[in-house]
Chain A
Amino acid sequence: MIGLNPVLVVGAGPAGLSAACDLSQAGVRVLLVERREELGGAPARWKYHTLAPDFVPVSRVLGPLIEQVTKSELVEVKKGCVVESFRGSVGDFEVRITELKTRRSETRRVSCVVVATGFEHFDARVDPRYGYGRVPDVIGINELEAMLSQGRVVKRDGSAPKRIAFVFCVGSRDRSTNPWCCTVCCGVSIKQAIELKRILPDSQIYMIYMDVRTTGLWEKLYWDSMEKFGINYIRGRVGEVYHTGQKLLVKGEDTLVRGPFEALFDMVVLAVGMEPGEGTRQAASIFGLNTNEYGFLLPRTPNIHYDSGREGVYLAGSCVAPMSVEEAISDGSAAAMQCVKLMKVMRA
């Protein structure tokens, strides 16, 4: 579509990459702006190892997308950059893009925008129960993914953990932190527990859960974890994680027994939830987008993610609601389609 301004895609995570990829394959020029110095969003940043439910390596899913956007002549990738301002009308928006390192800005004209600014993992330091950040060997599922990527899961002192506890719903479903459900953490935690059992077959793993929300076809992770890998489940909540000097004393309540437990573990993994990040906040302000009470970008109707309510601006991915990588990819594709439709109309 020669003659039309490119589509601005803000964020190069799964949703943004998917949108940029689809657009370029449809012959549309793309200006892909990513805040970090590498493409891939959260999976790249936290070095995700595999994706639930089938343990597909992340590289197999995101690799082709990254390759397409990098190789395609139609995609201009701007890493380490952010969008500072936005104005104009559909077909001819004027955006100012700034390179973070040099603070150099340039003004560009774009036809329409796909906002895919993604999420941030909940910072568990805010919830002091677990001692995250203060006590060694309390880590988040994001950090565990990175360790699994390296094929080596060790405690701070370098030894392998024998007893590991996963705590579900950290920074989710909680009025004092984040009241929503992050949908994927249950499945991801269980996936990780299975992967842990594979590399540390003598370990004893306990999943301390409130509910197990392995939806759809992810359910088999839950069943396999119990039936094939002997992973234990405790229905309950954790009140405090205390470091004895050698081990972690996890204090909680076993709901099914209606009684307190205090057990020693070598490592505690927190299923930290997803929350809107700084990028999403900035995008909302710059693009004039509505947000819901929690800071997620609010589409015109919650059931159709891409429709931001603002002409020419489309939403995709976890900046709208917590979701899995596959859902983000679909979201990006849907937003890309809206751009293609719009540009067809503009050309006519």
Chain B
Amino acid sequence: MRKTHEGDARVSEKEEKEKGRFIFERGYIDSERIIEPEKLELGGVDMSGRWGTLVLPRTIEQFDHTLFEEVKKLPGGKNIHRCWQCGNCTAVCPVAHAHPEFNPRYLIHITKMGYKTEIKKFKEYVYLCSGCGRCSVACPRDVDPKGVMSALSILFQRGV
């Protein structure tokens, strides 16, 4: 069981993956978008479990730059706006090579555009950053991804 700051016990990772296991192309869908009701009925008809499962759409409907603005305020993140998504940082990142879920380029992108579902999915991984700084050396625009990762880790701790 993974504990959050609130102390509430959240659904275990195993249970998360079990959700919607009957969906044919389950692999393409984020568990967060699957709503599988344990108990559901309408008008006397039982729609629990599989019959009542819904999948939420993943269309991005707005660009919310508040996280981006917060990152810019922190010293490490002041150059985040320079990023043009070339991927040099991820290419040299030693962590990314072992853990593909940690992708500095992608983290910067979703931060800049404010894609909440993606941020929720990947925010935990920012702590995998080792702080080696190879990214900042490789970055052609001087974004300082290392600084951005550090800024993000602070902001996520604060619950932003």
Contact = CB atoms under 8 A, between A and B. Distances in A.
Physical interaction between A and B = yes
Contact of A257 (B61, B62, B115): B115
A261 B82 contact: no
A254 B60 contact: yes
A223 B109 CA distance: 17
B149 interface: no
Nearest to B60: A261
Interface in B74-101: 81-82, 84-85
A227 interface: yes
Task: Name, among B58, B60, B112, the residue most crowded by chain A CB atoms within 10 Å (CB to CB).
Answer: B60
A257 B59 contact: no
A212 B84 CA distance: 10
A263 B81 CA distance: 21
A85 B60 CA distance: 58
Interface stretch (A107-115, A232-240, A279-287, A310-318): A232-240
A257 B81 contact: no
A226 B60 contact: no
Contacts of A223: 82, 141
B58 A263 contact: no
B156 interface: no
B61 A256 contact: no
B36 interface: no
B58 A256 contact: no
B127 interface: no
Interface string A236-272: 0000000000000000001011011111000000000
B55 to A, nearest CB: 14
Contact of B112 (A232, A260, A263): A232
A42 B47 CA distance: 65
A230 B113 CA distance: 12
Given A232-B112, A256-B109, A226 B61 contact: no
B110 A226 contact: no
A93 interface: no
Contacts of B141: 223
Nearest to B112: A232
A206 interface: yes
Contacts, number: 48
Contacts of B70: none
Interface string B104-128: 0010011011010010000000000
A262 B81 contact: no
Interface residues of A, number: 20
Interface size class of B (residues with CB under 8 A): 10 to 19
A257 B63 contact: no
A232 B63 contact: yes
Contacts of B85: 233, 235, 256
B59 A262 contact: yes
B82 A263 contact: no
A230 B58 contact: no
Contacts of B118: 257, 259
Given A226-B82, A226-B84, A263 B110 contact: no
Interface string A56-67: 000000000000
B61 A263 contact: yes
Contacts of B81: 226-227, 230
B63 A206 contact: yes
Given A232-B112, A233-B84, A254-B113, A260 B63 contact: no
A226 B79 CA distance: 10
Contact of A263 (B60, B84, B109): B60
B117 to A, nearest CB: 9
Given A226-B81, A226-B82, A230-B81, A259 B58 contact: yes
Contacts of B112: 232
A234 B113 contact: yes
Given A223-B141, A256-B106, 8 more contacts: A233-B85, A256-B85, A256-B109, A257-B60, A257-B109, A260-B58, A260-B60, A262-B61
Interface of B: 58-63, 81-82, 84-85, 106, 109-110, 112-113, 115, 118, 141
Interface of A: 204, 206, 212, 222-223, 226-227, 230, 232-235, 254, 256-257, 259-263
26 contacts: A204-B63, A206-B63, A212-B84, A222-B84, A223-B141, A226-B82, A227-B81, A227-B82, A232-B63, A232-B112, A233-B84, A233-B85, A235-B85, A256-B85, A256-B106, A257-B109, A257-B110, A257-B113, A259-B58, A259-B115, A260-B58, A260-B60, A261-B60, A262-B61, A263-B60, A263-B61
* Chain A to chain B: the 10 pairs with minimum beta-carbon distance, closest first: A261-B60, A260-B59, A256-B109, A262-B59, A227-B82, A259-B58, A262-B61, A256-B85, A226-B81, A226-B82
